[in-house]
């Protein structure tokens, strides 16, 4: 055997083998730093990077998912026999784009063990059906979806989430209404089936709760993304929305807007054109903070000023969050993603925690000798989990929903400022800023000196007890005068005909 065959050829082949190992594509860790374990877990990460509303924050969400996987793989004591890898797809916050993304990640290449992320509920519902027990049977852990329908564990047994259901905010809304003595409100809801069902459920709870019953007027509106693009002509959708707002203003001065961020902007702009941002109205939203605003748009800035937004509590002064935010910005910069110049958004923190929620369920399954390929089984394991994550205190309930505290944000000059907290994980309690000398003072639309009044500042929408007495007295006087006049006329008639 020649020297080449005995020494050079083996070294040559070994070089190719090393090159093959190092060329394994992995977005989550550096192959040269970590000894690759035998078992690989593939997760599909979906978020929106293409729509006009969430694209920049979508890149932050992607960066957060990368960080989570990197941290899991770097922890030698956490699932030491496994390593995580990810495949990313844009869900576009759109049903068609989301379906294509889900089909691509599942049907091509290696097995997908879980779907993490998803920006909008229309895509989450698709994923929930596709990943259900009788289909793919893999977990879906969302960082953002808020449909109340997704809480139906009999329909979506493999679904869990780090975001709050829209319905979960209703208790906080009731307490805020009580704090400002708002005894009647309106709900403007996007005419999407799950939103309408949730809004009706909110209406029922607000009207029939034992603590502070509130009269609710509900209108279903239609969103049209092209409504503002007609050349000098108002669209039918815009006209209909203005008619609905005009009907609403005859009954209420407090309006809750239920919908996606672009829906909320659509309604607020219409309200602004109708002069409803004049200091007489209050507008309440849920998770509006995810939207990206063009601060050069003066009409938009005026329309959103003073809105009260309800969202999961996030302590941005926490050192763990500050460190996380810096790391997200570093990944965004390194990857060449669009930069916001701000701290990492709440939903990015929820994305990081969504990856870890799945990983913790896998660890528990391994410890219990369960299959990590049983999606419904993994979601059941999640229901007992609680820890302090990047997005704050995390508790998962029996249907896979997060039980979280709520922070109340106030839009001031295009920025969200915290003005209150509703504690759900502790004893239910509302802390609300009402001190005018406090930096967290609430600014209302139109910047009035006092909060909007449910009955109107002149009580024009309400009938007080004294108003009722006055009306009854007036009616009685009118009747007496009428009868007196009739008697006089009869008397004169009788005298004339004698």
User: What is the side-by-side strand order in the sheet with 308-312?
Assistant: 215-221, 184-190, 254-258, 282-286, 308-312, 406-412, 415-423, 429-432
pLDDT of residue 9: 37
105, 44 in Cβ contact below 8 A? Answer: yes
Phi, psi of 230 (to 5 degrees): -75, 140
Helix pair angle (121-130, 95-107), 10° resolution: 30
**Least confident span in 12-16, 168-172, 289-293:** 12-16
CA angle 36, 38, 41 (to 5 degrees): 90
pLDDT of residue 341: 76
> Does residue 68 carry a pLDDT above 80?
yes
SS3 182: coil
> Does residue 30 carry a pLDDT above 50?
no
Task: Please report, rounded to a whole number, the percentage of residues in the chain having pLDDT higher than 90.
Answer: 63
Rounded alpha-carbon distances, angstroms, from residue 28 to 106, 383, 440: 19, 27, 40
DSSP element (H, E) containing 452: none
Give 21's pLDDT tier (boundaries 50, 70, 90): very low
Q: How far apart are CA 90 and CA 92, in angstroms?
A: 6
Dihedral sign from CA coordinates of 319, 325, 328, 333 = negative
How much is the average pLDDT of 111-116? 95
pLDDT of residue 295: 83
pLDDT of residue 464: 54
């Amino acid at each position: 055997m020649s020297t080449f065959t005995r020494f050079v050829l083996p070294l040559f082949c070994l070089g190719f083998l090393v090159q093959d190992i190092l060329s394994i594509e992995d977005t989550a860790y550096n192959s040269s730093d970590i000894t690759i374990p035998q078992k690989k877990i593939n997760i599909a990460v979906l978020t929106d990077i293409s729509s006009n509303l969430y694209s920049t924050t979508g890149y932050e969400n992607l960066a957060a998912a990368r960080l989570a996987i990197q941290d899991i793989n770097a922890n030698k004591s956490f699932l030491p026999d496994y390593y995580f890898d990810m495949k990313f797809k844009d869900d576009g916050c759109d049903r068609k784009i989301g379906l294509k993304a889900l089909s691509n990640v599942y049907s091509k290449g290696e097995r997908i063990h879980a779907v993490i992320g998803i920006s909008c509920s229309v895509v989450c519902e698709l994923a929930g059906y596709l990943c259900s027990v009788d289909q793919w049977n893999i977990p879906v852990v969302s960082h953002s979806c808020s449909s109340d329908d997704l809480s139906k564990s009999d329909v979506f047994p493999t679904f869990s989430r780090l975001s709050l259901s829209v319905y979960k905010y209703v208790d906080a809304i009731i307490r805020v209404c009580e704090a400002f003595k708002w005894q009647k409100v309106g709900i403007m809801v996007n005419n999407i089936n799950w939103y309408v069902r949730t809004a009706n459920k909110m209406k029922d709870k607000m009207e029939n709760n034992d603590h502070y019953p509130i009269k609710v007027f509900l209108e279903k509106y239609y969103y049209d993304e092209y409504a503002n693009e007609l050349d000098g002509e108002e669209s039918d959708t815009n006209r209909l929305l203005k008619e609905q707002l005009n009907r609403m203003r005859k009954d209420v001065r407090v309006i809750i807007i239920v919908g996606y961020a672009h829906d909320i902007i659509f309604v607020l702009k219409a309200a602004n054109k109708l002069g409803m941002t004049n200091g007489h109205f209050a507008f309440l939203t849920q998770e509006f903070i995810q939207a990206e605003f063009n601060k050069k748009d003066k009409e938009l800035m005026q329309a959103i000023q003073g809105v009260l937004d309800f969202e999961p509590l996030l302590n941005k002064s926490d050192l763990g969050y500050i460190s996380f935010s810096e790391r997200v910005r570093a990944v965004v910069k390194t990857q060449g993603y669009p930069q916001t110049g701000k701290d990492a958004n709440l939903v990015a923190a929820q994305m990081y925690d969504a990856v870890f929620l799945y990983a913790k369920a896998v660890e528990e399954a391994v410890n219990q000798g369960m299959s990590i390929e049983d999606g419904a089984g993994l979601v059941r394991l999640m229901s007992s989990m609680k820890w302090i994550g990047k997005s704050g205190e995390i508790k998962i309930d029996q249907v896979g929903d997060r039980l979280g505290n709520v922070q109340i944000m106030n839009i001031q000059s295009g920025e969200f400022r915290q003005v209150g907290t509703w504690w759900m994980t502790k004893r239910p309690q509302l802390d609300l800023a009402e001190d005018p000398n406090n930096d967290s003072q609430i600014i209302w639309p139109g910047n009035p000196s006092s909060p909007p009044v449910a009955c109107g500042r002149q009580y024009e929408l309400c009938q007080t007890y004294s108003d009722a007495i006055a009306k009854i007295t007036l009616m009685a006087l009118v009747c007496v005068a009428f009868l007196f006049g009739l008697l006089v006329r009869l008397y004169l008639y009788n005298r004339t005909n004698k």
